Chain A
Amino acid sequence: MISLRITFYILSVVILTATAMAITRKNLVHAVLYLIQSFFATAILFYLLGAPLLAALEVIIYAGAIMVLFLFIIMTLIGGETQAGHGRRQWIFPAILGTVSILVAFFLIYESPATQAGLEPAMVRPIVFGQYLFSTYWLPVEIVSLLLFVALAGALYLGRHKAASPAETEVGQ
């Protein structure tokens, strides 16, 4: 079982490296492509942690739908141009504060007895997971579907073409 542990560390390194590369790229298309790699590694990590259905959904929804939507918007609005950098000096101090709090959180999590249990390999079959989801959480599923419908209506409302609205004429003045 030591090989599963090595797999976990390899996946962690891939996820962290790809995410770090993604958030530092000046070119937005490169950033999104690195992020897709990060989500693929995350999907394999989900499979390793016993969630094969969620691994598939991670690839389909995150890497497939959401990131392609990002690529569409980047291509539509700004193309492949690189973004100008900004000064680094102004966030050195916030970075130090954030790093200190992260280190304290690491210490607490590492020392807490509740988190030191080892994770044994287990796998939930998608049919069991689906039956649990739709029997125990049927009301949240309906609410989420309503949320998706509202998001669809909102996106359509924001993206519609119109001649002149009061808000735009106000900005024009």
Chain B
Amino acid sequence: MIAPYNEVIMLSIFVFFLGAVCSVSRRNLIMILVGVEIMLNAAGIALIGGSLRWGVLDGQVFVIFIMALAAAEVSVGLALIIYSHKRTGSVNSDAYSQLRG
């Protein structure tokens, strides 16, 4: 036995929690994207564990889709960060306060 299934799920929850903390607490736009990457990776761990638990391949297939989604998301996200950096000169999310009167 490798591990009980619930321990794989707990590892996934821990990693997802770390990613959520990173996304919420950091002010830097790049670190916010990094947090999203960590959360997607945690979802992949849970899916592969479930795939092994029930002996079906669908979990691994969805990890493939998550990887493609992460690649698309990070390319558009980083392009948006560069675009915002051109307009405001900062990657700090506190700098985006143009709506303030």
| 0 or 1 for each of B15-30: is its CB under 8 Å from A? (1 = yes) | 1011111101111101
From B38, B49, B79, A19 is in contact (CB under 8 Å) with: B38
A62 contacts B75, CB within 8 Å? no
Chain B residues with Cβ below 8 Å from A129 are 57, 60
Write the chain B residue with the least CB distance to A110.
B6
Instruction: Decide yes or no: A118 and B1 within 8 Å by CB, A19-B15, A106-B10 being known contacts.
Output: yes
Chain A residues with Cβ below 8 Å from B65 are 140, 144
B82 contacts A119, CB within 8 Å? no
8 Å CB interface, B1-58 against A: 1-11, 13-15, 17-22, 24-28, 30-31, 33-35, 37-38, 41, 44-45, 48-49, 51-53, 55, 57-58
Cα-based distance from A160 to B68 in the complex (angstroms): 23
Nearest chain A CB to B79 CB, angstrom units? 4
The answer to the question of B87 belonging to the interface, with a C-beta cut-off of 8 Å to chain A, is: yes
Cα-based distance from A112 to B79 in the complex (angstroms): 43
The answer to the question of A158 belonging to the interface, with a C-beta cut-off of 8 Å to chain B, is: yes
From A53, A77, A106, A115, B4 is in contact (CB under 8 Å) with: A115
Grouping DSSP codes into helix (H, G, I), strand (E, B) and loop, the B interface class, with mixed when no group exceeds half, is helix
Interface size class of B (residues with CB under 8 A): 35 or more
Chain B residues with Cβ below 8 Å from A98 are 17, 20-21
From A86, A91, A120, B1 is in contact (CB under 8 Å) with: A120
A sample of 16 cross-chain residue pairs with beta-carbon separation below 8 angstroms, ordered by A number, consists of: A5-B2, A15-B11, A23-B18, A35-B38, A49-B52, A51-B63, A57-B64, A62-B67, A73-B78, A83-B92, A112-B6, A115-B6, A117-B4, A118-B3, A119-B53, A171-B98
Residues of A in contact with B (beta carbons under 8 Å apart)? 1, 4-5, 7-9, 12, 15-16, 19-20, 22-23, 28, 31-32, 35, 38-39, 42, 45-46, 48-51, 53-54, 57-58, 61-62, 65-66, 69-70, 73-74, 76-78, 83, 86, 91, 94-95, 98, 102, 105-106, 109-110, 112, 115-122, 124, 128-129, 132-133, 136-137, 140, 144, 147-148, 150-152, 154-155, 158-159, 168, 171
> 4 more A-B contacts (CB under 8 A) besides A62-B37, A116-B4?
A23-B35, A45-B45, A115-B6, A155-B75
